[in-house]
Structure 1
Amino acid sequence: MVRPLILWMIGGLIYTLLEIVTRGRSHWTMFIVGGLCFYLIGLINEVIPWKMAFWKQCIIGSFVVTGIEFVSGCIVNLWLGWNVWDYSNMPLNLLGQICLPFSLLWVLVSGIAVILDDHLRYWLFGEEKPHYKLF
């Protein structure tokens, strides 16, 4: 039970810091959402065998992040009105909560998260040494 919490917190902290560096600000909900995304992306190698091509893991990760972003955006932005983010001015957006350009960015970010999670699991918890199959 401690392992998921540690990974969630590391992911939440990294995502919050990433937002502060790129946007100049963040919101406490992004710690929760970022940590959840990081943890779930990390489960890709835990649930699906290592044999899966790395690019497929990145695509799955993007779908995970986009789905969580949409649900959390509907809650924190539309329902609670906290206006944490708004993609209304972005092309191909859905209710201003998700958009295609950011979903594509999440492919890259998910790849970084997959690698980081795998290495953290190896270094901190003695899990299997990471290895990847590109295609």
Structure 2
Amino acid sequence: MEGKFIKEKLNNHIGSAFSAGEALKAIIVFATGFVGYGIIEILFRGYTHWSMLLTGGACLLTLYYLNLQFINVSIVIKAMVGAIVITIYELAVGIIVNLLFHFNVWDYSDQPLDFLGQICPLFTFLWFLLCLFLLSVSNFLYHKRPYLLP
């Protein structure tokens, strides 16, 4: 009897956690990161790569969920965590696309304190600044313009 109750509670929780509205939000956030990061790369480097579009979507979606999960944490701490998360994504994707498949999407070998040419402190700092900006925009939209979000 108790097992059935737990199973029903778990199924109800899972069903509510993955509602159609939440799925739509996740798709919109991922797509925004996908397109947004592509635009940033094109503006600053003149080109992008499909792997960066996917990574941009994954990074923004992760940042979105971190922001939701840790509502009462300061924006600076969230931006620091976001920068670390993005740096971890960058390292993982860099190992796959640059070192394993040799797509040569980026190379930080000329940067101080780089690791395998895939990550470096300068870009972690830039990710921190980007996270500060994105979290500020997100908080503005959430608190001031909630009708913009589904």
Q: Give the CA RMSD over aligned residues.
A: 1.5
The count of corresponding residues between Structure 1 and Structure 2 is 125
Aligned match of 2:31? 9
Q: Which amino acid aligns with 1:116?
A: V
Q: TM-score, normalised by structure 1?
A: 0.86
Percent sequence identity is: 34
Aligned match of 2:148? 124
1:5 positional shift: 1.3
What is the DSSP-based 3-state SS (H/G/I as helix, E as strand, rest coil) of the residue aligned with 2:72? coil
Q: Which amino acid aligns with 2:149?
A: F
Structure 1: state its 5+ residue gaps: 127-135
Answer with 1 or 2: which has the greater Rg. 2
What is the DSSP-based 3-state SS (H/G/I as helix, E as strand, rest coil) of the residue aligned with 2:135? helix
Distance, in Å, in 1 between the alignment partners of 2:90 and 2:114 is 12
Work out whether 1:47 is the aligned partner of 2:69: yes
Greater percentage in helix: 2
Of the two structures, which has the highest relative contact order with CA contacts closer than 8 Å and spacing of 6 or more?
A: 1
Distance, in Å, in 2 between the alignment partners of 1:117 and 1:38 is 11
- Out of 134, 139, 145, the residue aligned to residue 113 of structure 1 is 134
What is the DSSP-based 3-state SS (H/G/I as helix, E as strand, rest coil) of the residue aligned with 2:79? helix
Q: TM-score, normalised by structure 2?
A: 0.78
Structure 2: state its 5+ residue gaps: 1-22
